[in-house]
Chain A
Amino acid sequence: MRIFENTNFAFTESRNVGYIISGTLIVLSLLSLTFNGLELGIDFRGGMEFVVELDEPHTATEVRSALADVLVQAPEVKTYGVENNALIIRAAETGNMREVQTQIVEGLTAAFGASNPQIVKTDIVGPRFAQDLQEGAIYSILGSLLVIFVYILIRFEWRFSVGAVAALFHDVIITLGMFSALRFIVPFSLQVDQTIIAAFLTIVGYSLNDTVVVFDRIREYTGIFKSEKYDVVVNRSINNTLSRTVITSGTTLLVVAILFIFGGEVLRGFAFALLIGIVIGTYSSIFVASPVVLALRQRT
């Protein structure tokens, strides 16, 4: 079976459509990031998070009001996945973490003792540590972009570097935008924590993978079809790699979807970021990276 064999879509001619779609998505993402904001996970914000499993189902409101009595500050309580009647309890970081933890455990036992509450996961991050994690995350994202820029510069030429990094910014902004826009809509947590940063960097790597394959073809065809116009060469390169782009994206999307569905609650946000990122990354290598190279080439 063959799909997208010998296609001849006019990608470069219709690149304005791509610009409009990307531009709109970026603007919407930035708007959402400004007004809806991102929900930072405790890795970056500091605080305490407990996952509690109960034998009998109890609503988040029930647990919240039970804990509001024992804690100075009422915690945030949400359902956590579908299995085991799990709930996630988030409390702000205060002076005495140990005390808050004891109070939560005692409060739960007092109110829901019959349902045998069990804390199956605890995450406590001090404010200073959270700040360090934040810095680490920012450094790793900037570091990755820089390394990529330089590598493409060495292997290709500066226009390709700019194209690749533009596509990466595009991907990360839109994925962040989706995280922000959907955070009150989807039934799972879209908090940005260390795992999500790992997902972003994977998206960066993946999107780049796609972009480089197209670039490689452009580089090759520029040598072969010297007499042809550059936009024709670029268009042919995109078309001839389209089949590969779609298949690889397909298999990767497939495994990520499996992770999203079967990977469990801990990995859900991570898999979701990858799902969005792979779609956007595939799109951007066709509609952002190569057109940017083309535009830069035509200008100079």
Chain B
Amino acid sequence: MQGNGLKVFLTAFFLVMSGYYLYPSVQGYFIDKKMDSLTGEELAAYQADNAAKIRTVNEESLKLGLDLLGGMHVTLEIRVDALIQELATDQDETFEAVLAEARDASFDSDVSVIDAFVSSFEARDPNARLSRHFRNEAAGVTRRSTNDEVAAYLRTEADEAVNRAIEIIRDRVDRYGVTEPAIQRQGSRRVIVELPGIEDPDRVRGLLRGTARLEFRLMADPADLVRSLQRVIEYYEVAPDSADSGEDAAAADTTFDVNDLLDNVDGASTNTLLDVFQPIGQSVTFGAVTAADTAAVNDLLFVPEVRALLPRDVKLMYTASPVGTTANGEELFYLIGVLSQTELTGDVITDARVEFDQFTNVPEVSMTMNSEGSRTWARLTGANVGRNVAVVLDGVVYSYPTIQQQINGGRTNITNLDSREEASDIVTVLKSGALPAPVEIVEERTVGPSLGARSINNGLNSVMLGLVLVALFMIFYYRTGGMVADMALILNLLFVLGILAGFNATLTLPGIAGIVLTIGMAVDANVLIFERIREEQSTGKTLKAAVDGGYSKALSAIFDANITTFFVGVILYSFGLGPIQGFAVTLMAGILSSMFTAIVFTRIIFDYMISERRMTVSYG
């Protein structure tokens, strides 16, 4: 036993550490069990009494992945192209063309939007200065800033935008009330959001993606709008086969009548736009579109050629909620003409809350502005009495009421909301603040709680069955040696879980698969040793000498074989995502701990049995 002091100490140390890190998980198990047995008031009382304890236990327990717990995993990507546009103080056609090029380039290959933007800008005209478009004295970009300096400024801004976005998303998630959300940055422009136990993925999606950009805009001039509508429809007029439709188009030149055009498409359709779009052209309403056709209409209307047919200062936007239904019961949305210039933005909002209309009891969001906002708002409403003002949130028009009189005191509200949830979500995003740039959901995975529970069950069954069968085989094949190896195997499992808990790693379904695999592979080191001991014994050595020889000779094979698998684990961890990382972690933990238990722990036992107790150990 002398000389084994360090080995015994290490084993005891690891055992204590594993116990320490796994203790909260065990506690958590019993608390859950207890809470399951309680109902109603008893449960509430128990939770109230033990709130602090439950919280600590939950925080320190071995964490389960969303694939086991059920929940939602979302990867968001910050739209850097939109951010560049935002930062540009001077946007002309060249700028827009270069930005479009950069957007395409970054989508096709693996270059960042900023790099693509700078290089395509310089390719166009090597002497052109980026500073022309991004001049911003406050941020230190002057007329004399070099292109490199401007690029560096854009990169810093993009980097900060991601960090700010994370803060804002965290705030929104907290306000929404998710227990133990995990939000982390991934790479240069992505954010991973993990939300356990989400029941309404749709609502969460809106909450995460909403930039919360609130704008107040004046409306397009109705006469201008009608004229452009006419030009746009003509643009999509398919070259007429019959003289008939040609005449109609000509007639429409002088007096515009929607019905003329609609009549026109009653028969064989001759206009690609009118297939999916109902022109209206009354007041500020450009036309109506069903929800299903929006994508098709966007492809037709939001292209540069059509853009050129609209007044320069006008933008088309959809209404947030349906304005009616078609004969088939499909929801219709209006396209509304608003001015591209924003009169007032959400920055001035200091407070927002859900209120109910005193007559109709319909929910609405009421907002208060700061003094600067109040002044602008008063001036704006005062100068435009009788005209409409559009309340735009994240690019869709919520309402466009007619201004009855000048509004003082900086009060306003968002109406036309579908539900109380929508109102409270808007309050949440307004209070958390606007995202620095729009975000896009590039990956979304949800697992229902029932599937997660079943996965846990399947995983546990596999672990137990694997453990029992492998353990029985080892005893059958290696006798006493096998029994010791089985002790090592159980210790190994404990260590692996301890390592996972200690390093705050997450146990996923592939992670459980990794544990099952570890059970099969962990005995390998002992198999190698026992086979060596048998070989040594067959050369006629004493038991003690054979054990010594077996351990020392097997060591290099065990070491080389395990370290390469460990490397594979490291690589998997660095390139894999989520659940795969969980697998990599258990694989690595399994390798480290099985090397320790198979080489160090079993040796202690054998030394004790052979040297201290003079026992005869059979290796089968």
> Does B447 contact A206, Cβ atoms closer than 8 Å?
no
Q: What's the Cα separation between A155 and B458 when bound, in Å?
A: 40
> Does B459 contact A263, Cβ atoms closer than 8 Å?
yes
> Does B580 contact A155, Cβ atoms closer than 8 Å?
no
Q: In which size bucket is the chain A interface?
A: 35 or more
Please choose the segment from A15-23, A28-36, A141-149, A174-182 that sits at the chain B interface, where 4 or more of its residues have CB less than 8 A away: A141-149
> Does A2 contact B620, Cβ atoms closer than 8 Å?
yes
Question: Which A residue sits closest to B555, measured CB to CB?
Answer: A216
CB of B528 within 8 Å of the partner chain: yes
> Does B557 contact A147, Cβ atoms closer than 8 Å?
no
Q: A residues within 8 A CB of B295?
A: 95-96, 99
Q: B residues within 8 A CB of A137?
A: 575
> Does B75 contact A151, Cβ atoms closer than 8 Å?
no
Q: B residues within 8 A CB of A7?
A: none
Residues of B562-598 at the interface with A, using a CB-CB cut-off of 8 Å, are 562-565, 567-569, 571-572, 574-577, 579-580, 583-584, 587
CB of A254 within 8 Å of the partner chain: yes
Q: B residues within 8 A CB of A135?
A: 110
Q: A residues within 8 A CB of B470?
A: 251, 254-255
CB of B523 within 8 Å of the partner chain: yes
> Which of A83, A121, A197, A252 is B446 in contact with, Cβ under 8 Å?
A121
Q: What's the Cα separation between A118 and B446 when bound, in Å?
A: 13
Q: A residues within 8 A CB of B584?
A: 198
Q: A residues within 8 A CB of B579?
A: 194-195
CB of A128 within 8 Å of the partner chain: yes
> Does A267 contact B75, Cβ atoms closer than 8 Å?
no
Q: What's the Cα separation between A264 and B561 when bound, in Å?
A: 30
**Interface digits, A89-117 against B, CB 8 Å rule (1 contact, 0 not)?**
00000011111001000000000000000
CB of B444 within 8 Å of the partner chain: yes
CB of B510 within 8 Å of the partner chain: yes
CB of A247 within 8 Å of the partner chain: yes
> Does B442 contact A126, Cβ atoms closer than 8 Å?
yes
Q: What's the Cα separation between A32 and B370 when bound, in Å?
A: 69
CB of B549 within 8 Å of the partner chain: no
Q: Do A124 and B444 form a contact, CB below 8 Å, given A209-B562, A216-B556, A251-B523?
A: yes
> Does B523 contact A205, Cβ atoms closer than 8 Å?
no
Q: What's the Cα separation between A215 and B67 when bound, in Å?
A: 40
> Does A208 contact B466, Cβ atoms closer than 8 Å?
no
Q: What's the Cα separation between A2 and B295 when bound, in Å?
A: 70
Residues of A229-269 at the interface with B, using a CB-CB cut-off of 8 Å, are 240-241, 243-244, 247-248, 250-256, 258-259, 262-264, 266-267
CB of B519 within 8 Å of the partner chain: yes
Q: A residues within 8 A CB of B357?
A: none
> Does A254 contact B568, Cβ atoms closer than 8 Å?
no
**Interface digits, A190-223 against B, CB 8 Å rule (1 contact, 0 not)?**
0000110110011011101110110111001000
> Which of B461, B477, B561 is A212 in contact with, Cβ under 8 Å?
B561
> Does A213 contact B561, Cβ atoms closer than 8 Å?
yes
Q: B residues within 8 A CB of A97?
A: 441, 444
**Interface digits, B464-487 against A, CB 8 Å rule (1 contact, 0 not)?**
011001100110110000000000
Q: Do A267 and B510 form a contact, CB below 8 Å, given A2-B534, A198-B572, A244-B527?
A: yes
Question: Which B residue sits closest to A203, measured CB to CB?
Answer: B568
> Does B458 contact A212, Cβ atoms closer than 8 Å?
no
CB of B270 within 8 Å of the partner chain: no
Q: A residues within 8 A CB of B459?
A: 263-264
> Does A133 contact B442, Cβ atoms closer than 8 Å?
no
Q: B residues within 8 A CB of A147?
A: 564, 567-568, 571
> Does A259 contact B462, Cβ atoms closer than 8 Å?
yes
CB of B237 within 8 Å of the partner chain: no
> Which of B107, B513, B576, B577 is A271 in contact with, Cβ under 8 Å?
B513
CB of B343 within 8 Å of the partner chain: no
Question: B476, B561, B576: which has the most chain A beta carbons within 10 Å?
Answer: B561
Question: A51, A129, A148: which has the most chain B beta carbons within 10 Å?
Answer: A129
CB of B524 within 8 Å of the partner chain: yes
Q: What's the Cα separation between A206 and B517 when bound, in Å?
A: 10
Please choose the segment from B26-34, B278-286, B449-457 that sits at the chain A interface, where 4 or more of its residues have CB less than 8 A away: B449-457
> Does A263 contact B583, Cβ atoms closer than 8 Å?
no
**Interface digits, B289-304 against A, CB 8 Å rule (1 contact, 0 not)?**
0011001000000000
Q: B residues within 8 A CB of A136?
A: 575-577
Q: B residues within 8 A CB of A1?
A: 476-477, 620
Q: Do A248 and B443 form a contact, CB below 8 Å, given A120-B448, A135-B110, A264-B454?
A: no
Q: A residues within 8 A CB of B568?
A: 144, 147-148, 201-202, 204-205, 208
Q: B residues within 8 A CB of A206?
A: 521, 565
Q: What's the Cα separation between A140 and B202 when bound, in Å?
A: 34
Q: What's the Cα separation between A262 and B457 when bound, in Å?
A: 9
> Chain B interface mostly helix, strand, loop or mixed?
helix
Q: Do A120 and B450 form a contact, CB below 8 Å, given A208-B561, A251-B520, A258-B516?
A: yes
Q: A residues within 8 A CB of B510?
A: 195, 198, 267, 270
CB of B535 within 8 Å of the partner chain: yes
B120 to chain A, nearest CB (A): 19
> Does B575 contact A255, Cβ atoms closer than 8 Å?
no
Q: What's the Cα separation between A267 and B67 when bound, in Å?
A: 12
> Does B587 contact A202, Cβ atoms closer than 8 Å?
yes
Question: B107, B509, B575: which has the most chain A beta carbons within 10 Å?
Answer: B575
Residues of B422-453 at the interface with A, using a CB-CB cut-off of 8 Å, are 440-448, 450-451
Q: A residues within 8 A CB of B557?
A: 212-213, 216-217
> Does B443 contact A126, Cβ atoms closer than 8 Å?
yes
CB of A279 within 8 Å of the partner chain: no
Q: B residues within 8 A CB of A241?
A: 531
Q: B residues within 8 A CB of A129?
A: 75, 77, 442-443
Q: A residues within 8 A CB of B562?
A: 209
**Interface digits, A70-102 against B, CB 8 Å rule (1 contact, 0 not)?**
000000000000010000000000011111001
Q: A residues within 8 A CB of B92?
A: none
Q: A residues within 8 A CB of B560?
A: 155, 212, 215-216
> Does A258 contact B462, Cβ atoms closer than 8 Å?
yes
> Does B441 contact A126, Cβ atoms closer than 8 Å?
yes
Question: Which A residue sits closest to B445, measured CB to CB?
Answer: A123
A260 to chain B, nearest CB (A): 9
Q: Do A194 and B577 form a contact, CB below 8 Å, given A124-B444, A263-B513?
A: yes
Question: Which B residue sits closest to A274, measured CB to CB?
Answer: B517
B188 to chain A, nearest CB (A): 12
CB of A122 within 8 Å of the partner chain: yes
Question: A98, A248, A258: which has the most chain B beta carbons within 10 Å?
Answer: A258
Q: A residues within 8 A CB of B447?
A: 120-122
Question: Which B residue sits closest to A219, measured CB to CB?
Answer: B556
Q: What's the Cα separation between A155 and B528 when bound, in Å?
A: 19
Q: A residues within 8 A CB of B291?
A: 99
> Does B567 contact A144, Cβ atoms closer than 8 Å?
yes
> Does B565 contact A248, Cβ atoms closer than 8 Å?
no
CB of B382 within 8 Å of the partner chain: no
Q: What's the Cα separation between A243 and B469 when bound, in Å?
A: 19
CB of A125 within 8 Å of the partner chain: yes
CB of A119 within 8 Å of the partner chain: yes
Q: What's the Cα separation between A134 and B561 when bound, in Å?
A: 28
Question: A98, A266, A274: which has the most chain B beta carbons within 10 Å?
Answer: A266
CB of A139 within 8 Å of the partner chain: yes
Q: List 20 A-B contacts (CB under 8 A).
A: A1-B477, A95-B295, A120-B448, A124-B443, A144-B567, A147-B564, A148-B568, A208-B561, A209-B521, A213-B561, A216-B557, A251-B473, A252-B520, A255-B517, A262-B458, A262-B461, A262-B462, A263-B462, A264-B454, A274-B517
Residues of B within 8 A of A (CB): 67, 75, 77, 107, 110, 201-202, 205, 291-292, 295, 440-448, 450-451, 454-455, 458-459, 461-462, 465-466, 469-470, 473-474, 476-477, 509-510, 513, 516-517, 519-521, 523-524, 527-528, 531, 534-535, 538, 553, 556-557, 560-565, 567-569, 571-572, 574-577, 579-580, 583-584, 587, 620
- A121-B445, A128-B77 given; 7 more Cβ-contact pairs under 8 Å: A99-B295, A140-B574, A209-B524, A212-B557, A212-B561, A248-B523, A258-B466
5 A-B pairs with the lowest CB-CB distances in the bound complex, closest first: A255-B520, A205-B565, A140-B575, A264-B458, A252-B520
